[in-house]
């Protein structure tokens, strides 16, 4: 059951940024290599994150015993499984975490101390690596690891119903915030009811994993996903899908079936506003990111014709899904929407912001050459990646697969500018797959060439940074070609979120004190000015 739930949630993962603009006629990146990681059973890849050493960590769930790439046996039916690899895709270590029943990881993030926070849902009692019993059915289960993947602590949060976690983030106070959905009443860790089935459930923790507060948000019908991102104002944006009407926390009616439902929260979890976005059929939200101007980019899948908030028709027949992306301003007002798809089913899983204001979309596709899809399917569903411009126009697409099923769930950008994709694959050596399956289904990681860049003559003079890497402060030099007024310096994290911002009143050399609590890793320092002036520089924080 849990494997199915994980696949349906389709979490995307936070990702990193391209540092230079795309050409309008840019070509798709090419595959550099692919790696299969698995055991004799079933593995489902859910998330991939870059690491400061140039490598990456990939995580999901596994049902395999010691076999193939798996060095630790299962604790129960399905367990969390994370694998650390170097920049060439060579495995460095793997870790299994679980209890006596079913445990499924859906998200992981690097933490400020160089370790990791793992998050998912668990049906296990206090057995194996789990130190607390399940409260009833599936609960949120969070594990803190050190830099070598050793467990430091774990925490279980739940009520008397089913609690399915969707995302985790470390907050600027060193704590964590969890989000997902819950059917629980007021019980155990849940202080507010879910009166009409599953509702969004947000839990705030301190640095040691102790609960500080929780909030429930719902309507008169069930909600799905409940994915959350921190926002530049210190609050959060929460999103998922629901068929609920005006009731509870929902102030706008549904347009048809399931719609995207967003809730803006302040730092204490109080609702600021909510928005319903959809067409006459069904939409399922998959991912959301904040843009540099304080707005938002949200994406998922839609089966609706032109109706409601949807201004473009489906590419396939009715009920088949396409990627559907919406650009919002900071108040949640729609600026534009875009449909990307082929003649059959296409489901979006993840979004990646790019420095030109556009994005890379990732998901799975059953379509052949049709609509926006320029490559034939290799077999069953393939991984499908699409680049959009800042105004939502398609710039390129690329498909990757074998003769069977591939499900792309997460993509990110490595420190060298290349793209990393994490998918689940059941294919033998075929199509784009160069290594055999270890068993049933495995993690499949692909490395693509760096995103295409504009001609060197079109580039702005770069910011001069010293030191780089930096820890507490960095000295930078404003380029000579920069405007002399109206400059804004912004520091963007791996999700494209603005984590620090200041106005500049002078040219020349200046110092920037880095905000406390920044997670070690690669950041983007961007200088924006009047008109179209913008220049960027990578900054490594350690």
Give the end-to-end CA distance of the chain in Å, rounded to a whole number: 40
| Phi and psi, residue 325, nearest 5° | -115, 140
Query: Residue 347: which of 319, 379, 324, 318 has the closest Cα?
Result: 324
Query: Residue 418: which of 445, 436, 437 has the closest Cα?
Result: 445
Residue 60 and residue 39: Cα distance in Å, rounded? 13
Residue 326 and residue 330: Cα distance in Å, rounded? 13
**CATH code of domain 460-541:** 2.60.40.1930
Sheet holding 259-265, edge to edge: 223-230, 236-242, 259-265, 271-277
Question: What per-residue confidence (pLDDT) applies to 461?
Answer: 58
Q: What ranges do the domains of the chain cover?
A: 2-448, 460-541
Question: What per-residue confidence (pLDDT) applies to 535?
Answer: 81
Instruction: Judge if pTM exceeds 0.75.
Output: yes
Segment holding 5, helix H or strand E: helix 2-9
Q: Do domains 2-448 and 460-541 have the same CATH topology?
A: no
Assigned token pair, 69: 């790439």
**CATH code of domain 2-448:** 2.130.10.10
Question: What per-residue confidence (pLDDT) applies to 454?
Answer: 36
Question: What per-residue confidence (pLDDT) applies to 256?
Answer: 87
Question: What per-residue confidence (pLDDT) applies to 462?
Answer: 64
**Cβ proximity of 7 and 342 under 8 Å:** no
Assigned token pair, 421: 């994709």
Question: What per-residue confidence (pLDDT) applies to 88?
Answer: 94
Dihedral (CA of 530, 532, 537, 542) sign: positive
Query: In terms of DSSP H, where are the helices of 403-498?
Result: none
Query: Residue 219: which of 266, 159, 157, 271 has the closest Cα?
Result: 271
* Tens-binned pLDDT, residue by residue, of the chain (542 aa): 333 333 333 333 233 333 333 333 468 899 999 999 999 999 999 999 998 888 999 999 999 999 999 999 999 899 999 999 999 999 999 999 999 999 999 999 999 888 999 999 999 999 999 999 999 899 999 999 999 999 999 999 999 999 999 999 999 899 999 999 999 999 999 999 988 889 999 999 999 999 999 999 999 998 998 899 999 889 999 999 999 899 999 999 999 899 999 999 999 999 999 999 999 999 999 999 998 888 999 999 999 999 999 999 988 776 689 999 999 999 999 999 999 999 999 999 999 987 677 899 999 999 999 999 999 988 899 999 999 998 899 999 999 999 999 999 999 988 778 899 999 999 999 999 999 999 899 999 999 998 754 333 234 556 777 787 787 888 888 887 788 778 888 888 866 778 888 888 666 678 888 888 788 777 888 888 886 677 877 787 87
Residues with Cβ < 8 Å from 512, sequence gap 6 or more? 473, 474, 475, 476, 489, 491, 500, 502, 525
Assigned token pair, 154: 């774990």
């Amino acid at each position: 059951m849990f494997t199915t739930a994980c696949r349906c949630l389709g979490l995307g993962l936070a990702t990193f940024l391209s540092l230079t603009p795309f050409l309008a006629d840019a070509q798709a990146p090419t595959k550099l290599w692919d790696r299969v990681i698995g055991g004799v059973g079933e593995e489902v890849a859910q998330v991939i994150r870059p690491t400061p050493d140039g490598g990456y960590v990939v995580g999901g769930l596994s049902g395999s015993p010691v076999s193939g790439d798996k060095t630790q046996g299962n604790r129960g039916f399905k367990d969390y499984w994370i694998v650390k690899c170097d920049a060439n895709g060579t495995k460095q270590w793997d870790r299994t975490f679980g209890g006596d029943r079913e445990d499924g990881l859906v998200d992981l993030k690097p933490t400020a101390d160089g370790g990791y926070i793992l998050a998912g849902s668990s049906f296990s009692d206090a057995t194996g690596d789990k130190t607390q019993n399940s409260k009833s059915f599936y609960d949120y289960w969070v594990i803190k690891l050190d830099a070598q993947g050793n467990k430091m602590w774990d925490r279980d949060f739940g009520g008397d119903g089913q609690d399915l976690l969707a995302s985790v983030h470390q907050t600027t106070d060193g704590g964590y915030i969890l989000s997902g959905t819950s059917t629980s009443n007021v019980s155990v860790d849940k202080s507010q009811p879910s009166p009409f089935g599953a509702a969004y459930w947000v839990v705030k923790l301190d640095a040691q994993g102790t609960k500080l507060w929780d909030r429930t948000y719902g309507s008169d019908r069930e909600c799905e996903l409940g994915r959350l991102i921190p926002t530049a104002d210190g609050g959060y944006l929460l999103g998922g899908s629901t068929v609920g009407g005006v009731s509870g926390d929902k102030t706008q009616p549904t347009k048809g079936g399931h719609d995207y439902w967003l809730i803006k929260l302040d730092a204490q979890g109080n609702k600021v506003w909510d928005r319903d976005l959809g067409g006459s059929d069904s939409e399922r939200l998959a991912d959301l990111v904040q843009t540099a101007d304080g707005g938002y980019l949200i994406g998922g899948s839609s089966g609706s014709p032109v109706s409601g908030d949807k201004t473009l028709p489906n590419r396939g027949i009715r009920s088949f899904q396409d990627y559907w992306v919406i650009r919002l301003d900071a108040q949640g007002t729609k600026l534009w929407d875009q449909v990307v798809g082929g003649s059959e089913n296409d489901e979006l899983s993840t979004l990646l912001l790019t420095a030109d204001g556009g994005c890379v979309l990732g998901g799975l596709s059953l379509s052949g050459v049709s609509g926006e899809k320029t490559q034939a399917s290799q077999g069953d569903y393939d991984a499908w990646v699409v680049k959009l411009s800042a105004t939502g126009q398609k710039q390129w697409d690329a498909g990757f697969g074998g003769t069977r099923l591939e499900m792309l769930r997460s993509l990110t950008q490595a420190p060298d500018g290349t793209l990393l994709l994490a998918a689940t694959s059941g294919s033998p050596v075929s199509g784009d797959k160069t290594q055999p399956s270890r068993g049933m289904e495995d993690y499949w990681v692909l490395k693509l060439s760096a995103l295409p860049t504009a001609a060197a003559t079109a580039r702005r003079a770069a910011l001069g940074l010293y030191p780089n890497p930096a820890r507490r402060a960095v000295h930078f030099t404003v380029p000579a070609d920069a405007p002399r007024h109206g400059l804004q310096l912004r520091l963007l994290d791996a999700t494209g979120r603005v984590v620090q911002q200041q106005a500049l009143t002078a040219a020349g050399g200046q110092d920037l004190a880095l905000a406390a609590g920044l997670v070690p890793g690669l950041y983007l320092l961007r200088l924006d000015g009047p008109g179209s002036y913008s220049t960027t520089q990578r900054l490594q924080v350690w």
